[in-house]
Structure 1
Amino acid sequence: MRFFGLVVHNIRIKPTRTALTAFAVSIGVGAGVTIGIVTHSLRQTAVQILEIGRADFSVSQEGVSDLLNSAIDEQELAQVGELRGVQSITGVLVEPVDLDADNPFFLRIGIDPSKMAEFGVRVVEGRAFTATAPDEIMLGYRAARNLGLAVGDPLRVEDETYTVVGIYATDQEFGDSASMLPLVTLQ
């Protein structure tokens, strides 16, 4: 019996085993494809977070696998600013929050308002928040549209209520779907 004949013989003799084997192989291939898609999606998310500020490069804590878990204190930030070739630095704090069922990964970005233009933020409606305001927030224009909010509206995030004082644009989808507030408030 030749190889092809043996294959046909085994398929005919043991159809249940053949069907289960085919099912197991399809599950394995499907799982591999799904993992590839999720990995690509996570990589794209990380890249988009890095692109929010139009930086030439981003600095993160050594040994941390996720940019969002990275912490650099102000002294380390100042040391980076003193390096030859560094023209400017902007320290930001990025915090993902579960806003609601439609927005389970909503970003709050803490930034000094004097650094917003440098960070690539343009206020398109209203005004920027003040440096120490505990209850002022700006929304990216996509976030404002998705949430149905405008300047003057309240926004509840976790146990805090903020007043939307401005709408901004960054020309970056992830940034325009987020919120910004004073760095000291988010800290």
Structure 2
Amino acid sequence: MRFISLIFKNLTRRPFRTTLTLLAFATAIAAVVSLLGIAKGFTKSFADVYQSHSVDVVVSRAGTADRLSSSVDESFVQQIAAVPGVSRSAGVLLETMSLEEQEIYGVPSMGIADGSWLLDDYRLEDQVTVESPDRKRVLLGANLANRVGVKPGEDVMIFEDPYLVSGIFNSQSTWENGSMIFPLSQLQQLADRDGQVTYINVVLDKSFAATKAAQTVEQIGALDSKLNALTTTDFVETDTRMQLATAMAWMTSMIALVLGAFGTLNTMMTSVLERTREIGILRAMGWPRKRVVKMILMESILLAIIASVIGSLMAIAMTSLLARSAATQGILTPAIDGPVLMQGAIIGLVIGVLGALIPAWRASKLLPTEAFRES
């Protein structure tokens, strides 16, 4: 019998036990891939907020633990715009509002000044004309509008005040599509933050070389010790929320991975104990210890490969259903791409090898005479 055929036969001789092990193993891999995909999708959606506007630098308040709740004086917008190498700048105020009549809470809300270049990057649908500039109004993201069930021209209640839905917008960012946009002055008044913005988006002059662009970022930060100027990439990657989402994904995954590792260890150890006499015969026939170890390891690795494929398919299916559910539609967009699937496969292989080390070591130590005596 060929070596590979023997490995397949060893795995299929106990189909029920092998199936249970595969399911446990695949579930662990599915948990890893799903959580990492969700965390990556969350980060991507956050990054798209800035990339959709071609923002190069984000300026927030220095020393703020949560940058999305920082407070920067609005006057810095013009000061930053005057820095050499800056093409344009705009302040954004972030708050969290609720649509209590629709029982939708914790809606991300952005305050953007009327006529700001940031508004040009949104694709507006069914926009209505607002006759009075003092009229309380709001733009709804497409996903949020679908959840709320209102159309442009209708009102939504915010803090017992009617706000005219002046339009529906679409953005490249899933996060923005589930948000609201107020005129900056109105959101400042609503949040009691007159003259304040959360951060300032900055677009650099594209004709500047990379070295000069770096100098521009330094000059922006040098305007005031209260300012923290970071490139968009650094701002997203070092954000507390993004780091916390990734850390929680890994921490939760570790529990599933440990269970998967113990399941593999139990299966392979039981398999070795059941085949003590068989292994003894193979050793008596001249099989070296390395070949016995190789057989056990390959059985475990084959289990890991199959479990990784099943687990990845489970993760894609589960996150797809989750993203389409009413509770998360338009909020969650998992990013299960090649790198995430590769991480899941590598972790699966590592677990497969680790789970087989002790059984392989025990099998290699069996002498023919001892094997027959133990059987």
TM range (shorter): 0.5 to 0.7
State the superposition RMSD in angstroms.
4.0
Q: Secondary structure at the match of 1:23?
A: helix
Which residue matches 1:44?
44
Q: Where does 1:63-82 land on structure 2 (aligned, <5 Å)? A: 69-74=68-73, 77=77, 80-82=80-82
Q: For each residue in 1:140-159, what CA deviation from the matched residue of structure 2 results, as whole angstroms up to 9, or x when unmatched?
A: 473685232332x32124x3
Query: What's the secondary structure of 1:155's corresponding residue?
Result: strand
More helix, by proportion: 2
Residue among 134, 147, 150 paired with 1:148:
150
Question: How many positions carry a matched residue from both structures?
Answer: 176
Q: CA deviation at 1:109?
A: 1.2
1:126 to 126, 129, 151: 129
* 1:104-163, Cα deviation, whole Å (9 max, x unpaired): 6643211222xx342234883222874xx5x71222473685232332x32124x34332
Q: Distance in 2 between matches of 1:144 and 1:10?
A: 50
Give identity over the alignment, percent. 17
Contact 2:155 2:165 in 1 (8 A): no
The structure, 1 or 2, with the larger RCO (C-alpha pairs under 8 Å, 6+ apart) is 2
Aligned 8 A contact 1:129 1:165 in 2: no
Q: Look up the SS of the partner of 2:30 in the other structure.
A: helix
In the alignment, what sits opposite 1:109? Answer: 110
- Contact 1:125/1:166 (8 A) holds in 2: yes
Runs of 5+ unmatched residues, structure 2 = 194-375
Structure 1 residues 143 and 16 mapped into 2: Cα distance closer, same or farther (>3 Å)?
Answer: closer
- Measure, in 1, the Cα distance between the counterparts of 2:84 and 2:58: 15
The match for 1:179 is: 180
**Cα distance between partner residues in 2 of 1:3 and 1:143:** 52
Corresponding residue number in structure 1 for 2:19 = 19
Q: 1:8 to 1:118 in 2, by over 3 A?
A: same
Measure, in 2, the Cα distance between the counterparts of 1:91 and 1:20: 56
Cα distance change on mapping 1:138 and 1:128 into 2, 3 Å? farther
SS of aligned partner of 1:125: coil
- CA distance in 1 between counterparts of 2:144 and 2:25 reads 45
Contact 2:142 2:168 survives alignment (8 Å): no
Over 3 Å counting, the alpha-carbon distance change for 1:145 and 1:7 in structure 2 is closer
Aligned CA distance change for structure 1 residues 25 and 90 (closer, same or farther; 3 Å)? same
Mapped to 2, the partners of 1:120 and 1:98 lie a distance apart of 22
- How far apart are the structure 1 equivalents of 2:51 and 2:109? 15
Q: Equivalents in 1 of 2:19, 2:177: separation in Å?
A: 49
Q: C-alpha separation between the residues in 2 aligned to 1:66 and 1:138?
A: 26
User: How far apart in 2 are the matches of 1:140 and 1:128?
Assistant: 19
Look up the SS of the partner of 2:90 in the other structure: coil
Output aligned runs, 1:82-101, within 5 Å: 82-97=82-97, 99=99
Which stretch of the first structure deviates more once superposed, 76-85 or 38-47?
Answer: 76-85
- Does the residue aligned with 1:93 lie in a helix, a strand or coil? strand
